[in-house]
Each structure stands twice: as C-alpha cells, then as structure tokens.
Amino acid sequence: MSLLEQQKKLADRLGTDGSRTDIWSVLSAVLPVDTYLNLGYSRRGWPHVFGSPQRRLVDRVAKPILSTLRPGSGQQLLDLGAGRGGPAARLETAHRFDVTGIELLPSNAAAAAHSEMIPAAAQPEFVAADMTRLPVAASRFAAATAIDSLVYVPDKAAALQELDRVLKPEGVCVVTDLVRSSIAGRPESVFADFTEAWGMPSLVTTDEYRTTIRGAGFRVVESTDISPHSLDKLSKWARLYLAVIDRQIGRPLKRGLNRAGLDPAVISSQIRAAYRALPGLKHVLMRIRPASSVEWITSSSDPVVVAPPDCDPHSVVAASRPRGSWSGPTVICSVDMDHLPGRFASLGRLRRPRSSGCIVLDSDVPELIVARWNRTILGQLSDDFPEQNRTSILSEQFGESMAVSDVRGRVKRRPRAATAALSLIGYVAVVGVFVSPTISGLFPELTLSQVSLLSDAIAVVNSVTIVTILVGWYYIRRGEVRRHAAAMATSFSLILLFLGMYLPKVAGGGTKQFVGPDLVTIGYLLMLAIHIMLSILAVPVVLHAIILATTHSPRELRQETPHALVGRIAAGTWLLSLSLGVVTYLLLNHVYDWTYEAAVVAVPL
C-alpha cells in the first residue's frame, strides 16, 4: 500500500474531514474521539464509558516509562501516531514529558495543534509525517509511545527501525497494539472481515510481533495482555448492541440512528465483524528497549541492574553509582530477556535472596531462574528447554530457595485462599481463648496488677500503631513506596505484639467492668461494640493487603492487584478500631471507675 493510499484510507476513518455515517460517529457521542483514538483502559468492574478510558490507557502506558527512565536521562518523548493530540497532551501535562507527536494525517496534526480540547498548559509539538520516515535527528528521544497506532501501519518493521534510530541507546518505548492470539482457532475470514470493516492491514500474532520487534533492534522487556481492561469490555457492549438492534426493542435505536444521519446497517456490520473477531484478538502492552540497553529495576529489595550478556558487570556497577543512595550492592544478571519464556519476562518479579551474589526471578509458577555474576545458569533459557529438567537442576542447586519460593508462588496465585486460611486460624485462636477451657488453660493465671500492666502496654502499642499507619499512609500519598512498606510492616508487627499480650490477658486475667453514668455507659458500650466489630472485620482485609504486598512487586501491586483499594479499606478500619480501643481504655482506666471480676482458669487434664 502506497503512502497516498494509506493516508486516504486512514483519513476516511480517523480523519477530521468530511461526515461519517458509521461506527466512528457513534463512538464520538460516548467517547472523547475528538482528542483520543485508542481502545481505552478500565479497571475490572468499571464500565468502559465511566470517565475517560482513553485517558486511562495513556496513564497506564506512562507508568512503565516513568519506572524505567533514570533521573537526569532526559524527558523528551516521541508519540507515534499522535492522532488528534489527546495522548500527547496528557503525557505532557500529567506526566511532565516534553512531547513531540508524529501523525500521518495533516488534518489530524493541524487539529491537534489548535484543539480547544487540549489544555492550554500543554504545548506538545505535532508534526505531519510518516512514522517509517521520521523527520527528526538520531538518538534524540529518551522515551517513545505508540498507543494503538502501529496497528494501522502496514510496514511495522520499517516504523520500528526508524524508532530505533531516533531513540537514545538507554531509551524506552511502550507500545499498545491489537494482535491475533497464537491459539485463536478462528477462520482467516473472520479476521479479514474485521480488518476490512475497521480499515486495518492484516493483523499479526503476538509471536510474529515480537519477532518483528527483535528484528528492528529491540528487546521485549515486558509484555502484558490488557484485553480484560479493554477488548473484553468492548465485547460486552457489542453483544448487547447485537442482541437489541435486530429485535423489536431495537427499532427506536434504529430510528434514532437514522435521524442522526447514520446508517444502522453499516454500523451493525462493523460491530458484528468486531464481535466475531474479538475472542481471537488480544490487546497487548509491550515495553521495549534497544537491545544494548541496561535494564533498571526498582524492587522492594536492593536495586538490581539487568545488563545484556556482553556487558562488563564491573563497568555497569561503576556507572550505576550516581543513581542514588543504595542500602546494598548492585547485582548484575546477564540474561537475554528475549529468550525467557513469556511468563518469566516480567522484570517486576525480580527478587534478591539472602545468599550473596545471585538474584532470583520469582514467577507465577514454582520454577526459579537463578543467575550469578556475569553468567547464566542453564545458559540461554529458551522456550524449548525442557521445563522438568530446568526445575530439577535448579532444585538440586538451590533446594532451600526453591521450597521457599514454591510456597510464596502458591500464595501469590491464590491470595484469597491464603487470606481465608490465615483469618480462620486467627479467629479460632481468639475465640478459642474465650470458649475453650483447653486453650485458655494454656495461659498462666494473672493478678490484677498484671492485668492492669498488660492493659497499659496494649494501649501504648495501639497508640504507636495508629501513628505508624498514618505515617505509612502519608508516605504512599507522596509515592515513597519503600518507606510506606516499612511503616506498614512495622504496624503489622505491632499488631502481632498486641495479640501476644491480648491473648494471655483475656485467658488468664479477669475482666474490668465499666462503672459510670448511664448515658456515658451507653456510649462506652457502643464504642466498645463498634471496636470489636471492626476488629473482627479488619482481620481478613488487613491480611489480604499484607499477603498481596509480600508476594507482589510494587509494579504488580499497582497494575495487577486491588492492593490500593484493599489497603485503603484495611487502613481505615484498622485506624478506627484502634482509635476506639484507645478511647475506651482511657474511659475505663483513667476517666471513670471500674470493678474487677477475676477469671476462672481451667486446667486441662
């Protein structure tokens, strides 16, 4: 396809000129296609028309770029296929990049440059050009994006080779695109109908796409299927439309489309073609980097550098020192990430074990990939390496680490089951102290002075815990993940210390009964009841947040788990429960009076 033919085809579908009678006019009524032309991104459970899914996709693309760029490496970003300017403006205003947008259609580039929909604070530069012949100097950009744009480029290899030319050697690019599943199992005609209806060249599979990327001089550092956040949601809307449009209840919809100057038959054919093809398609996000680049990773342990196999580890360590103050030594892993199986390719899963001089790539399955200084155990770990042999060899050399990671991997794959099991153990331990003479008999009998001392100590521990939770909340609001994790780990340790004092107190000690005015007594009992109820409800939520935090990397927590939501709920209930506990302690022990009922300690036979 010539450049002129490509421009004409894209202008008919994605340009700003002329009037439309097909699906794009419908989309413009519910989505901000005046500024954004992408599939969008929505969290699980969120409707795809809530807010701006297209803007959320841009934010999702920006995260791996921001986590990759080194301080001082430059913030110039190239947006390939800039469309009508929405992504470039978002990247510049929200993420502070200096953006240059490349757009094939002059009408779109002009509209983006003068769009009233783009904030005045954003000043991205828009250039009408072919992305296979970029009019920019070599090695100019530190980062690049191609957000659902390469799908319209027939010669992806040429576009990627140009990108490799203009990207800095340590640069990073994030691509989102539509590909065919390698195991789609659908006739070719289904995909041909889809690409024809939506004006796209033939789609390639994920493996073919990765081969093209490698051939252009890049390596795929990270590949994520984001279809559940985009295609799956669009498929539901397509199914709903097709279920309605051909029935009696669909007649008002047809009349409405006709009145708007749209053609229901054309729209239905496009949606039907998409609905048939979507089960065999994937929406992928890939972070790619020049093959000679050094990979920088921020994990919950010491920073780790993954360098290409031919790099000198000592020179990389020396070059890495200006990155910041590190608590431990840098470890070099000379692994060609392109040769790793797909499920191991997420660099966010790197972990530093206790044994010195090696790193462990902890994946979603029990197998480990272990590397030492400037050499790789098992050589190039390609997909055709027998998986059972890989496991057995690693088990022999790193048996203890394998067992630990196996348990961690199981918990990571089933966090809800682990949360339920640990919650049940906690409930049984606490309830057993109250109702089981056998369990309560395990604790020594306490005097009144000992009970009072434990009450005071518990109040102090709970007060400190309130402070540490608030500190952790403060740090995560500022984006300081390490300090947040340390604060919340301290809070959880204090809760365990609280349990260590609370169980012997209620098992071997008596009970203080509140004595005060009737109205105050009612308020005291109400606060005590809420405190107890929140303590019960907080157990699984807190445990789930802790389990997610200890089995996932920071990147995974942000992008793949509900940790942020669960953490907010856990912190809120935890804080309120602890605060009410401290208030009731003060009312009982220091403001009003109390009576003491000694406990009857059962001695097991």
The residue type of 289 is R
- Residues 45-61: pLDDT tens digits? 666 656 678 888 999 99
User: For residue 322, is pLDDT > 50?
Assistant: no
Mean pLDDT of 385-413: 46
Confidence category of residue 352, pLDDT binned at 50, 70, 90: very low
- Residues 437-464: pLDDT tens digits? 777 778 888 888 888 899 999 999 999 9
Look at residue 409 in the predicted model and tell me its pLDDT.
67
Structure tokens at 204: 């390639």
The residue type of 583 is V
Look at residue 407 in the predicted model and tell me its pLDDT.
65
Structure tokens at 475: 């740090």
Look at residue 184 in the predicted model and tell me its pLDDT.
55
Continuous segment of H or E residues that includes residue 351? strand 350-351
- Residues 523-558: pLDDT tens digits? 999 999 999 999 999 999 999 999 998 888 776 787
> Range with the lowest mean pLDDT among 86-90, 224-228, 301-305, 311-315?
301-305
Instruction: Give the rounded percent of residues in the chain with a pLDDT score beyond 70.
Output: 69
3-state secondary structure of 576: helix
Burial 567-581 (b: 16+ CB within 10 A, else e): bebbbebbbbbbbbb
- Asked whether 541 and 573 are in contact (CB, 8 A), the reply is yes
Confidence category of residue 577, pLDDT binned at 50, 70, 90: very high
CA geometry: angle at 342 spanning 337 and 347, to 5°?
Answer: 50
Look at residue 120 in the predicted model and tell me its pLDDT.
66
Mean pLDDT of 243-255: 82
Q: How far is CA 348 from the centre of its chain?
A: 10
Look at residue 183 in the predicted model and tell me its pLDDT.
62
Look at residue 149 in the predicted model and tell me its pLDDT.
92
C-alpha distances in angstroms, 25 versus 22, 29, 33, 262, 358?
6, 7, 9, 8, 56
Look at residue 48 in the predicted model and tell me its pLDDT.
62
Q: What is the mean pLDDT of the chain?
A: 75
Confidence category of residue 265, pLDDT binned at 50, 70, 90: confident
The residue type of 209 is Y
Q: Where are the beta strands (DSSP E) in 461-532?
A: 511-515
- Asked whether 199 and 13 are in contact (CB, 8 A), the reply is yes
Higher pLDDT, 190 or 347: 190
Q: How far apart are CA 352 and CA 102, in angstroms?
A: 41
> Range with the lowest mean pLDDT among 28-37, 350-359, 364-373, 393-402?
364-373
Look at residue 578 in the predicted model and tell me its pLDDT.
94
Structure tokens at 131: 């992305």
User: For residue 367, is pLDDT > 70?
Assistant: no
> Range with the lowest mean pLDDT among 56-70, 77-91, 340-354, 491-505?
340-354
Residue from 4, 199, 184, 173 nearest 78 by CA: 173
Instruction: Give the rounded percent of residues in the chain with a pLDDT score beyond 90.
Output: 32
Highest mean pLDDT among 14-18, 510-514, 596-600: 510-514
- Residues 127-166: pLDDT tens digits? 999 999 999 999 999 999 999 999 989 999 999 999 999 9
User: For residue 5, is pLDDT > 60?
Assistant: no
C-alpha distances in angstroms, 570 versus 46, 239, 379, 543, 579?
21, 37, 44, 9, 14
Higher pLDDT, 168 or 392: 168
Look at residue 174 in the predicted model and tell me its pLDDT.
96
C-alpha distances in angstroms, 196 versus 152, 272, 277, 284, 395?
12, 12, 12, 21, 51
Strands 332-334 and 304-307: parallel
Q: How far apart are CA 490 and CA 244, in angstroms?
A: 55
Confidence category of residue 24, pLDDT binned at 50, 70, 90: low
Burial 408-418 (b: 16+ CB within 10 A, else e): ebebbeebeeb
Query: Which residues on adjacent β-strands are paired with residue 219?
Result: 289
Residue from 182, 196, 141 nearest 163 by CA: 141
